[in-house]
Structure 1
Amino acid sequence: MTLLMTCSAISAWADEFQQSVQPLLKEYCNTCHSTQKQKGDLDLERFTSMKQVKADPAVWEHTLEQLANNEMPPKGKPQLSPEQKKLLTQWARGTLDELALASAGDPGPVVLRRLSNMEYTYTVRDLTGIDSLDPAKEFPVDGAAGEGFTNAGAALVMSPALLTKYLDAGKDIASHAVLLPGGMRFSESSSPRDWTDEALAKIRAFYARYTWQGGAESVNLQGVQFDTNTGGRLEVAKYLETLQGRGDASVLNARYLETLKKALESTQPSPVLDLLREKYKAKSLNALDVDAWQRVLWRFASVGHIGKKNGPKSWQEPVTPLGTHHEIRVKLEAPKEGGDAKLYLVSTDAGDGSADDEAIWENARVVVKDKPDVQVLASQAVKTPQVIEITVPAASIVKDTELVVTARHKSGSVQVQVLKEKPTMLSGLQSGMASAVIAKGQWSDNNLRTSLSAPILVANGSPARQKFEAAFDEFRALFPIALCYAKIVPVDEVVTLTLFHRDDSELQRLMLSAEESKELDRLWDELLFLSEAPLKQVDVFEQLWQFATQDAKPDAFEPMREPIMRGAEAFKKRLVEIAPVQVQAVLDFAGKAWRRSLSDREQSALRTLHAQLLKQGLSHPAATRMLLARVLTSPAFLYRGEKAAEGSKSAPVSDRELATRLSYFLWSSTPDAELMSQADAGRLHEPEVLVSQAHRMLKNAKVSRLATEFGCQWLQVRDVATLDEKSERHFPTFGSLRGPMQEEAERFFTALFQQDESVLSLLEADHTYVNGALAEHYGLKVKGSDWQRVEALRAQGRGGILGFAATLAKQSGASRTSPILRGNWLSEVVLGEKLPRPPKDVPILPEEAPAGLTERQLIERHSSDAACAKCHQRIDPFGFALEGFDAIGRSRKADTHAVLANGTTFEGLDGLRTYLLTTRRDDFLRQFCRKLLGYALGRSVQLSDKPLIETMITQLKANDFKITTALETILLSPQFREVRGRDFVVSQ
């Protein structure tokens, strides 16, 4: 029925063309626009039938504009009567409307679209995950086409020079590829050293999620004082506070928290844990109680000695304060109040009762360097509990004086101490203190020793010793002093063979799940792979061996030779084994970059290319990166190719092609995994799925690109951040404000899309987004300097795009405002009017108004010229209404009264806004819809799109003007979802 009505209507317009229009064209138009003259490249004489009119409707769209602007016929030529002009206008408009309905939904011409510079940049960033990459920085600037956007296919040409730049950019991007044992990732840096540092940082960040970064110990290494053993600590305090009702369990490791809870609430006897349990029951247990025992039962070894002959087994070593005898050393200082010093040799029951507990104190002596020892006690056997008081004459105490005594086991289990204060309690197990002592020897020796202040004397193999050892093991299993060696790179050695040290078994045992341990293993594997540590250790070993032969014992390192050499050989073998994995990673990347699956032939070609590069002498990493550069310079990546349907009819694009259309519309980039999964499942073409994905994508931060590439480009403010045309003498602050000016517009449009705001908010919004500097520029009071949303803007004389400093500054001169530029911008860009070009001989206005004239008076004098008056009557009033803002958008007092050609008057921004939202609302909506559609389709809006635009406007009005209404209408349209058939021809 619709087709019959359309054909009937067109037939009626055909009759009118023959009977009325053609005679008018012959009389008033063909004199200048004949086939022979073609003034302005326009030939109207060739239109002798409706078939020819239908074949070129663009000519009649242009003719309508000329008639509306009173430019046709030109002055000095015979003019149409009002009735004739009305007839010609109605015929042209009616014919075009019917043609639009007849071809409604036409997807438009198929153009092979290259990625624009920004699409290329965004795509590379999303594919690599590196936002700092700027691969198009040396590319020539993209031109605009279609509806004025740089994503229009008609503007995206390829030249030999640009192709060369693509090749260079592809190589540069590939230089950021980091080849890994399991494939490939990308880095901000192209330096292998930086890649290693990144791998280190990832492991440290992993450790930091579970550990406390404090706990440093001071070390003096060859006269250099620094902290070591920092980080990786078990944050006991927070766990104890939480279990005792004073902390937040949500920030702690649930697995360890439960383990600790069970241990502290257990009734299984344990000499050490029982001491903690008593305090836990009273809710008085704190980290210091645990720390005291940690320092006695653990010590940190020197990482550089691990693996050497007689060296430590690990960085965190258990210490057992048990033995048959122990030498105790106490530094002596003369009492401040004078007199002799008193010391107390204390023997207690170690908390297990005093039956049969006996010990012997031997050879207690005062020791001073370079002086004979002075014995104060030869030998004395004691039963527990007992205290022996020793007096040391003050005269014997000088600098570095020590009391040295040996305690020896006789029977039972005895804990011994030397105290400077007489004890008040002589029962119970005491933690005492432990300190690390560096024994004399060569640098290659393992010289670390532990000195205990409260050792326990027991017989080897006795039941008492076994009981204490079990108790200490229970404590150490629950409270390691560190969970991991967070420094990774040893710093406590003058000379060390260890490049990276891994010690995180306690972290894995107490806190990590199987998946977390697997992730940690992967991170360590990447670190060792990227650093080539197994190969470098060979060189370090040889150097260290040579160094040790000079003044130490090289045989101490001999046990390390074979493991190091074996590790290097295994690493070389692995490099060969994983090469195909890395090539496959490039092929997988190609599938993402090309936005489709690779054919078997394409995969084979890429593998062959890699093999050829190896034959040419390139190393595997170099050949793999060259292969990656090839992927990034392929037409499959640089162009958004679509397969046209067979035949002449339009047909739906594939789901993958639809995903690409949607992603480049909303994100100016390649589809993400979620979108592509819907496409691969064959569901994206379903309307509800397509709309759902669009809503998801609009919430993503990447929609800010739509704000910039569509919103800011439409308003012509996308380049304000680099605008350098303002007079620094007149506007010294502009340079620092131009970035925030553009960002305001970007943030405003981003919120429009993300929060599904009204399209009319572009004109009537009572809010905007400012940072501290821009707020000061606007005269707004805000807290802080960060970006924030501010309300009640209309009360401040602003609101909407007309009050943006970016739009006001862009449409001004270097040192003064320009009502002409602002009015022309509002008329053409915001309202979509078509204005004639200014006459060629229009005088250029001075940059500054002459003395005695305001800027407005200067414009009014200029506009009074008869040749200019018609256009200026249309645009100047808009500009005059915005004179309340200077050339960089600051508020000022000025004459903002405006009178339109039809007599309509309004005052300032508020009056202009009201006029636009009432009298011109539909014009604004139509322009917005036209621009959004043109941007979405990447082409000029054509006659067949007119019904879709009218539908968009109707839907907006019915849905509170919500932006998603316009977006959904576009997404569900044939124009967006279909492609012309291969044999399509424009209907004649």
Structure 2
Amino acid sequence: MTRFVFSLSTLVFISSGLPEALAATEPYDAFLQKHCISCHGPDKEKGDLRIDKLSRDFKLGADTHHWAEMIEQVNSGEMPPKKEKQPTQEEIAEFVTSLDAHIKQGRAARMAARPAVALYRLSRKEYQNTVYDLLGVRYDPAKPGELNEDTLWHGFERIGSELSLSPSHVDRYYRAAELVLDRAFTAASAEARKVHKTAADIRYNGGKEQQVALDRFGIKRPLRYLMFPGNTQNALSPNWFGKTGPEHSGLYKLRIQASGIRPLGGQTAHLSIGKRTGEETVDGLIEFDITATEDKPQVYEFEVFLEMPATLDFCVVATDVVDRRQGAAFRNALSSRGGYIFTHSSETTLLNPNAPQMFDDKGNGLFSTVLLDWIEWEGPLVSDSEKARRKDVVPPDDATPEVVAAHLQRFAERAWRRPVKTEELAEYLKSYADERAAGEKMADAYRVALQGVLTSRHFIYIVEGDTVAREQLTDSELATRLSYLLWSSMPDSGLFAAAKSGALKGDALAKEVDRMLADGKTSRFIDDFARQWLQLNRVGMFPPDKKLYPAYDAWLEESMRSEPVEFFREMYAKNLPLDSFIDSDWTIANARLCEFYGLPEPKSGAFQRVSLKPENRRGGLLTMGAVLGLTSDGTRHRPVHRGVWLSEVVLGKPPPPPPANVPAIEPPTPQSAKATLRQKIEAHRADANCAACHAKIDPLGLAWDNYDAIGQWRTHEKVPAGVGADPLINPAGTMPDGRAFKDATEFKRLLLEDRDEVALAFIEHLSTYALRRALSFDDQDDLKLIQAEAKKQGYRIKDTIRAVALSDLIRKR
């Protein structure tokens, strides 16, 4: 049967209520009376829907989502049910066409009535990026005591309606501005220093005595410093650095030459540099796997911002130490007087035969061990670009009031991301003048004005609009929207200039967007959007039970959280089609993930592209440990939650909340027969209140039942209590439209058949991120236009982002 497809924005119904019997005043009323009211009216209320109670006020749009879903079901043939009398093609056409005019009128009225001024507070991450791009200052607003945590909406942390400003928050913004200005214009400039220490310096106090022993044995290898699981060393120890070590807060470059020993069947050596918070946990600033072998050590280099005085530890953390007492005994022997002199595991003459052993008789390590050759700190470092951002911000000491005003105006235009009139700065200039009159120096008085600019709503908020009613953004507002979309920060000088000259139109706008897409700052977009879209904040929300999942540790969790982001980064760099989100013959993994997934060991410990085979049972986002873990709890997988996540994130169809007082699934008892969670959910679906929603949600989650709570593959479900063997898992199911699948592989194939739907959902999420608001049915026409443009380019990721950035939707207020 032919279907009449209209955009959902033309299918928005709103009215002021109906009498018990629908009055056929419009053609669509007659359709509803004939085909719908008998099941969704005063006599029967299937699915908790009564059509006669829905609003028809097209200007208000209160019941838009109900009506749109109804029309979608009629258009797709889902309604009326197959057992009921079916409408003719002419009836469907008249039904849809009749509503179209009403919906367009209501939509136009709502668009015209939208508020003239919109304010969107910067998220913490955006604030951090903005102060860096404005003044070259590194500031972490997520540290305890700094800016309040952002309120999330379906994973997004930049939705304007959610980001309120409390009195306590205002005070923190003032303190943040003071700290930022302190770091930008510090009175004492610290000269960068470089401190280099060898393992002999660190472990053996120069190693002169030990070198005598090496010479006696004829060993030419240099001394090395050993670190094993549970071993901690203060990375900034005075014994290492004395007064020549890091003394001033700032950016430091850390270089380490190291290698690792990996036990047979054990984990790759892993080093965490940060603050130890427990026996097995480290709040790491730097985390990395060490795959370099003893004979081929590698130089690892990192940049880290240190606030002095700082506490920083080197910690080796691993979960493969079977006997912790043996490990502790070895550490004690190593640290005791007359402990090991170590250069290489083959030099057995140096190993103390009376101490617990570190190697077996074939030279294989018994622990995941880090071998440190040398360490080097350099800093604090300030780049030329950071210095350039601060140049000419503060006027000279002999500046006239006019020169001071000009300096402040230039700074405010950059900070507020728009042209600024001098009169807007009168309050701040007066504060400066008052400070000068009280005897303050130029720099100190001027900082009061700078602080005023940085605590103004024009800096803390993205301000879109004014008192004049208009449909589109100004060029300055568009430049800001684009920069916070693609860079998570303020516009640069090129984008400012383009906006000021009125060049953000047509081909010039396209050229500017292409420049932005090629800029390295898009890495911020990749980090922020992927994390928010996929709701990765939920990874680790329910820490897995260590007894049930002993392979799970903090480094595996962090690696899981990074995998989807790095996967997105690879797709962006190669401009790959969105299909790869659903299925791929590759992933981006580090050594820890390769161990966990059973993949070949990578060439280095860093994230890199790894080829997949069918027997690996991975590929795409849906089989990643992060996605499978965030939809589970600490003890078991949760198929319903997995289905909800997939419906919302991948298909763009958030299911309704569950009804109140739904009983929980009963845990197994020792007397009951062992049953899979699927079997229990099917019994749960017998409740009529639950059946309709679960029929759409459950298949989306049950397809992944072969993956446990942390994403490990299994064929049987481990049931802790009950009678009989652990039951075999059945991942088969039927999609809501009737298409059957037997496992996750076939499910992914069906999703790929729905690539238009998946792409539209991705575009909607991306537009939500860009516009900083939830989208409505009024936006559907614009979304369809973006989809059509992206489809021309094969739904390639960068092209799709470009289509959103250049769309009419982005220009609208």
Interval of TM-score (by shorter of Structure 1 and Structure 2): 0.5 to 0.7
3-state SS, counterpart of residue 196 of structure 1: coil
3-state SS, counterpart of residue 521 of structure 2: helix
3-state SS, counterpart of residue 112 of structure 1: strand
Deviations 1:712-749 (A, max 9, x none): 322211452x6353323333423222222121111222
For residue 740 of structure 1, what is the aligned residue in structure 2?
A: 559
For residue 760 of structure 2, what is the aligned residue in structure 1?
A: 926
Cα offset for 1:616?
Answer: 4.6
Query: What is the rounded CA distance, in whole Å, between the counterparts of 2:714 and 2:131 in structure 1?
Result: 45
Cα offset for 1:797?
Answer: 1.2
Deviations 1:258-281 (A, max 9, x none): xxxxxxxxxxxxxxxxxxxxxxxx
Query: What is the rounded CA distance, in whole Å, between the counterparts of 2:38 and 2:136 in structure 1?
Result: 66
Distance 1:784 1:970, change over 3 A: closer
3-state SS, counterpart of residue 612 of structure 1: helix
Query: In the alignment, residue 608 of structure 1 is paired with which amino acid?
Result: K
3-state SS, counterpart of residue 695 of structure 2: helix
**Which of 104, 108, 122 is the matching residue for 2:129?**
122
Deviations 1:574-626 (A, max 9, x none): 98447988886555332211112331223444332112134456554443333
3-state SS, counterpart of residue 642 of structure 1: strand
Query: What is the rounded CA distance, in whole Å, between the counterparts of 2:70 and 2:28 in structure 1?
Result: 19
Query: What is the rounded CA distance, in whole Å, between the counterparts of 2:618 and 2:643 in structure 1?
Result: 17
Query: In the alignment, residue 906 of structure 1 is paired with which amino acid?
Result: F
Does residue 16 of the first structure (1) align with residue 27 of the second (2)?
A: yes
**1:135-154 correspondence to structure 2 within 5 Å:** 138-145=146-153, 149-154=156-161
Q: In the alignment, is the contact (CA less than 8 A) between 1:60 and 1:92 conserved in 2?
A: no
Unpaired runs of at least 5, structure 1? 1-5, 71-78, 180-191, 202-518, 531-573, 980-988
Q: In the alignment, is the contact (CA less than 8 A) between 1:772 and 1:785 conserved in 2?
A: yes
**Which of 177, 188, 209 is the matching residue for 1:170?**
177
Distance 1:588 1:806, change over 3 A: same
Deviations 1:762-816 (A, max 9, x none): 1123222112112211211211211212223555211111022111100011111
For residue 209 of structure 2, what is the aligned residue in structure 1?
A: none
Query: In the alignment, residue 761 of structure 2 is paired with which amino acid?
Result: Q
Query: What is the rounded CA distance, in whole Å, between the counterparts of 1:23 and 1:902 in structure 2?
Result: 24
For residue 840 of structure 1, what is the aligned residue in structure 2?
A: 660
Moved over 6 A (4+): 22-28, 39-43, 66-70, 84-92, 578-584, 847-851
3-state SS, counterpart of residue 157 of structure 1: coil
Distance 1:847 1:718, change over 3 A: farther
For residue 786 of structure 1, what is the aligned residue in structure 2?
A: 606
Query: What is the rounded CA distance, in whole Å, between the counterparts of 1:948 and 1:829 in structure 2?
Result: 20
Distance 1:903 1:113, change over 3 A: closer
Q: In the alignment, is the contact (CA less than 8 A) between 1:823 and 1:876 conserved in 2?
A: yes
Does residue 772 of the first structure (1) align with residue 607 of the second (2)?
A: no
For residue 58 of structure 2, what is the aligned residue in structure 1?
A: 54
Query: In the alignment, residue 414 of structure 2 is paired with which amino acid?
Result: K
**Which of 636, 643, 650 is the matching residue for 1:830?**
650
Does residue 706 of the first structure (1) align with residue 528 of the second (2)?
A: no
For residue 197 of structure 1, what is the aligned residue in structure 2?
A: 191
Q: In the alignment, is the contact (CA less than 8 A) between 2:650 and 2:762 conserved in 1?
A: yes
3-state SS, counterpart of residue 641 of structure 1: strand
For residue 633 of structure 1, what is the aligned residue in structure 2?
A: 455
**Structure of greater relative contact order (alpha carbons < 8 Å, 6+ residues apart):** 1
Query: What is the rounded CA distance, in whole Å, between the counterparts of 1:46 and 1:116 in structure 2?
Result: 37
Cα offset for 1:840?
Answer: 2.0
**1:863-942 correspondence to structure 2 within 5 Å:** 863-894=685-716, 895-900=729-734, 904-918=739-753, 920-942=754-776
3-state SS, counterpart of residue 609 of structure 2: strand
3-state SS, counterpart of residue 640 of structure 1: strand
Q: In the alignment, is the contact (CA less than 8 A) between 2:759 and 2:795 conserved in 1?
A: no
Q: In the alignment, is the contact (CA less than 8 A) between 1:33 and 1:45 conserved in 2?
A: no
Q: In the alignment, is the contact (CA less than 8 A) between 1:100 and 1:946 conserved in 2?
A: no
For residue 333 of structure 2, what is the aligned residue in structure 1?
A: none
Query: What is the rounded CA distance, in whole Å, between the counterparts of 1:172 and 1:848 in structure 2?
Result: 56
Does residue 672 of the first structure (1) align with residue 672 of the second (2)?
A: no
3-state SS, counterpart of residue 113 of structure 1: strand
Q: In the alignment, is the contact (CA less than 8 A) between 1:816 and 1:855 conserved in 2?
A: no
Query: What is the rounded CA distance, in whole Å, between the counterparts of 2:434 and 2:537 in structure 1?
Result: 45
Task: State the TM-score, normalizing by the size of structure 1.
Answer: 0.51
Distance 1:909 1:583, change over 3 A: farther
Deviations 1:542-585 (A, max 9, x none): xxxxxxxxxxxxxxxxxxxxxxxxxxxxxxxx984479888865
Q: In the alignment, is the contact (CA less than 8 A) between 2:137 and 2:184 conserved in 1?
A: no
For residue 862 of structure 1, what is the aligned residue in structure 2?
A: 684
Query: In the alignment, residue 15 of structure 1 is paired with which amino acid?
Result: E
For residue 643 of structure 1, what is the aligned residue in structure 2?
A: 465
Q: In the alignment, is the contact (CA less than 8 A) between 2:703 and 2:747 conserved in 1?
A: yes
Q: In the alignment, is the contact (CA less than 8 A) between 1:120 and 1:638 conserved in 2?
A: yes
Query: In the alignment, residue 703 of structure 1 is paired with which amino acid?
Result: T
Query: What is the rounded CA distance, in whole Å, between the counterparts of 1:134 and 1:743 in structure 2?
Result: 21
**1:367-382 correspondence to structure 2 within 5 Å:** none
**1:286-305 correspondence to structure 2 within 5 Å:** none
For residue 433 of structure 2, what is the aligned residue in structure 1?
A: 611
**1:191-590 correspondence to structure 2 within 5 Å:** 192-193=187-188, 195-198=189-192, 576-577=397-398, 587-590=409-412
Does residue 133 of the first structure (1) align with residue 140 of the second (2)?
A: yes
Deviations 1:816-841 (A, max 9, x none): 11111112211232112353432323
Query: What is the rounded CA distance, in whole Å, between the counterparts of 2:132 and 2:43 in structure 1?
Result: 54
Cα offset for 1:90?
Answer: 7.3
For residue 482 of structure 2, what is the aligned residue in structure 1?
A: 662
**Which of 725, 729, 746 is the matching residue for 2:547?**
729
Distance 1:60 1:80, change over 3 A: farther
Count of residues in Structure 1 that have an aligned counterpart in Structure 2: 569
Cα offset for 1:40?
Answer: 9.2
**1:752-763 correspondence to structure 2 within 5 Å:** 752-763=571-582
Distance 1:27 1:842, change over 3 A: closer
Identity of aligned residues (%): 30
For residue 797 of structure 1, what is the aligned residue in structure 2?
A: 617
**Structure of larger gyration radius:** 1
Q: In the alignment, is the contact (CA less than 8 A) between 2:804 and 2:810 conserved in 1?
A: yes
Query: What is the rounded CA distance, in whole Å, between the counterparts of 1:42 and 1:627 in structure 2?
Result: 60
3-state SS, counterpart of residue 823 of structure 1: helix
Distance 1:974 1:882, change over 3 A: same
How well do the aligned residues superpose, as a CA RMSD in angstroms? 4.2
Query: What is the rounded CA distance, in whole Å, between the counterparts of 1:759 and 1:717 in structure 2?
Result: 19
Query: What is the rounded CA distance, in whole Å, between the counterparts of 2:738 and 2:183 in structure 1?
Result: 64
For residue 958 of structure 1, what is the aligned residue in structure 2?
A: 792
Distance 1:916 1:14, change over 3 A: farther
Distance 1:799 1:887, change over 3 A: same
Query: In the alignment, residue 760 of structure 1 is paired with which amino acid?
Result: D
Query: In the alignment, residue 909 of structure 1 is paired with which amino acid?
Result: A
Query: In the alignment, residue 547 of structure 2 is paired with which amino acid?
Result: R
Query: What is the rounded CA distance, in whole Å, between the counterparts of 1:617 and 1:730 in structure 2?
Result: 68
Query: In the alignment, residue 961 of structure 1 is paired with which amino acid?
Result: Y
For residue 238 of structure 1, what is the aligned residue in structure 2?
A: none
Distance 1:934 1:616, change over 3 A: same
Bigger helix fraction: 1
Does residue 687 of the first structure (1) align with residue 506 of the second (2)?
A: yes
3-state SS, counterpart of residue 752 of structure 2: helix
Query: What is the rounded CA distance, in whole Å, between the counterparts of 1:100 and 1:644 in structure 2?
Result: 28
3-state SS, counterpart of residue 683 of structure 1: coil
Cα offset for 1:913?
Answer: 0.7
